[in-house]
Each structure stands twice: as C-alpha cells, then as structure tokens.
Amino acid sequence: MALKVERPAMIVLNGWGGLFEQRGLTVVAETPKRYRIRADRERIRLAGRFRYLEVGQTALVPKHAVVLL
C-alpha cells in the first residue's frame, strides 16, 4: 500500500505506566515496515530515552506504533 496523500494519525507508545497516545502528527510517506511521520501541532514523544520530534520535523517509526485516523 502506497500512501498517495498525507493522512492524520496518532502514535501509541507502551511505557511502564501503560499505553500512551499522542495526536497531532501526519503520515507523509511509508516504507514496507515503517511510516515517515511529521509533527504538526506540538512536540511528540517517541520511543527511546530523551527522543522527541519537534514541530515540522520528520522521523521513521514502526507501523505497529501508528494508528491512522
């Protein structure tokens, strides 16, 4: 499946306190196993210690961590 348009999405992280959901991002491209996401409205927390995505930046994340809206 190739994305033809940008789609709104949310990222779901599994932390020590349970699932953590964040909205305000857009899926801009995809690879066979990952989505390239862009933060639109606010700073997004990503998996990993001190890993954040600032507004306007892009990152590759696993497909199982993203829910398309």
3-class secondary-structure state, position 65: helix
Q: Tell the burial category of 17 from Cβ atoms under 10 Å away from its Cβ (0-12, 13-18, 19+).
A: exposed
20-56: burial string, b at 16+ Cβ within 10 Å, e else: eebeebbbeebeeebbebbbeeeebebeeeeeebeee
Predicted confidence (pLDDT) per residue in 21-39, tens digit = 999 999 999 999 999 999 9
CA nearest 37: which of 13, 12, 16, 8? Answer: 8
pTM of the model: 0.84
pLDDT of residue 48: 85
Sequence ranges of the domains in the chain: 7-68
